[in-house]
Amino acid sequence: MARKRFDDSNCAVARTLNEVGDWWSLLIVLQAMYGTRRYVDFQKELGIARNILSDRLDRLVENEVLRKVDVGEHGSRFEYRLTDKGRDLFPIVIAMRQWSEKWNPCPEPGLDLRDRATGRPLRQLCVQDADGKPLTIREVQIADRNTENSPEV
Amino acid sequence: MARKRFDDSNCAVARTLNEVGDWWSLLIVLQAMYGTRRYVDFQKELGIARNILSDRLDRLVENEVLRKVDVGEHGSRFEYRLTDKGRDLFPIVIAMRQWSEKWNPCPEPGLDLRDRATGRPLRQLCVQDADGKPLTIREVQIADRNTENSPEV
DNA sequence: GAATCTGGTTTCGTGAAGCAACCTTATTTA
DNA sequence: TAAATAAGGTTGCTTCACGAAACCAGATTC
């Protein structure tokens, strides 16, 4: 692939893609959010090749999205747990879920996310102003911090 | 790559990744949100190879994220515009921006997003219950719609 | 002490991702 | 009319991402 990297990109979205933008990383994070913690379980749940899994786990640990915890009494038993940074990917994952459920609905039910306290489903994620008022993309001003511009979309 | 596809996956996140989960697609969508509409402009702004751009634009059109509009008086001049489905990717993109700004801040300023009406910055995107109360990942119950389970994360 | 579990690493082959350069067709502008 | 621009298509090449399977080593279990 000789894939282009965006490590030093000025674009925040590109920098996010650089850390979790490949096919597997975000699915691993998702799986971790579902409660998976161990190497073999990730492997079984995702059906990912083992070397790829190793590579992705290492990179996620390196980027501090996961942390590798030694849970063996005498070593050699590990868990991969979400860090705060990793847990903060939750809105991204939820936004993706909701987008897919809206635009590419799947006949089979799949997973269900609810408020643990009340048992009610989640609200549709949306961009809001400081007061919580929903904003469409047209209501958001996109401006270069240096120059002035704000396109119509 | 012989990349694994997730077209028919039961996982909503995987299905989203299948449509916009590669390195370029989401950046193209982002660029479209910034106001770019024409092939050459995408190419110049993103620095993407032309055949890859063609391929991605085609796929995005095929998936109805963009639509190709003939704006030439006599044909052969096109614009790629976001559909409603494409515009609905806005929360995902914003969530990625905010994540990156929080965890991988960039020294240079970059773009600035504000409420066009009030000029105030956006609220941090978060998962909410039906009433709008913010929910952490621990407060969300993740259950298979068939069986019963809800892991601790 | 043999088998098994866990968490990997190594090797190898394939194909797809990516880039660059050149070509085409049509339109617009100088 | 010549040139420049727009929107690609095509080819050729390189490299790396991915997958499969084998191998490995420490700990535990039988």
Q: What is the ipTM of this complex?
A: 0.88
Q: Which residues have C-beta within 8 Å of that of residue A26, sequence separation ≥ 6?
A: A20, A89, A92, A93, A96, B13, B17, B21
Rg, Å, chain B Cα set: 19
Residues A97-140 have pLDDT tens digits of 999 999 988 766 667 889 999 999 999 999 999 888 999 999 99
Structure confidence by residue, pLDDT tens digits, A3-42: 555 666 778 888 888 888 887 899 999 999 999 999 999 9
**Has residue B91 got a pLDDT over 50?**
yes
- Chain A residue with minimum CA distance to B18: A23
- pLDDT value of residue A2: 40
- Whether B150 shows a pLDDT value over 60: the answer reads no
Q: For A130-153, what is the mean pLDDT?
A: 73
Q: What pLDDT score does B47 carry?
A: 83
Measuring from the CA of residue A22 to each C1', which nucleotide is nearest? D17
- Binned at pLDDT 50, 70 and 90, residue B12 comes out as confident
Q: How far is CA A105 from the centre of its chain?
A: 20
Flag whether pLDDT at A74 surpasses 80.
no
Mutation for testing the B interface, residue in A94, A112, A126, A131 having most B CBs under 10 Å: A94
CA distance A105 to chain B (A): 8
Return the pLDDT at B2: 39
pLDDT category of residue B98 using cuts at 50, 70 and 90 = very high
Closest-approach nucleotide to residue A74, Cα vs C1': D27
d(CA A13, CA A119): 33
pLDDT score of A112: 80
Mean pLDDT computed over B60-75? 80
Pairwise pLDDT comparison (A8 vs B63), residue with the higher score: B63
Q: Is a pLDDT exceeding 90 seen at residue B70?
A: no
Confidence of residue A75 (pLDDT cuts 50, 70, 90): low
> Which among A65, A79, A127, A152 is the top mutation candidate for probing chain B, defined by the most B β-carbons within 10 Å of its own β-carbon?
A127
| Residue A64 confidence (pLDDT) | 93
Domain ranges (residues) in chain A: 12-139
| CATH classification (class only), B12-139 | mainly alpha
- Cβ neighbours of B35 (radius 10 Å): 13
pLDDT of B44-58, one tens digit each? 888 888 888 888 898
First to last CA, chain A: 32
Say if residues B7 and A26 touch (Cβ distance below 8 Å).
no
pLDDT, residue B53, reads: 87
Name residue B86's amino acid: G
A1 touches strand C (CB under 7 A): yes
* pLDDT at B102 > cutoff 90: yes
Q: Which residue, among B136, B75, B87, has the nearest Cα to A87 in the 3D structure?
A: B136
Output B18-21 pairs: Cβ under 8 A, ≥24 positions apart: B19/A104, B19/B63, B19/B65, B20/B60, B20/B65, B20/B89, B21/A21, B21/A23, B21/A26
pLDDT of residue A73: 58
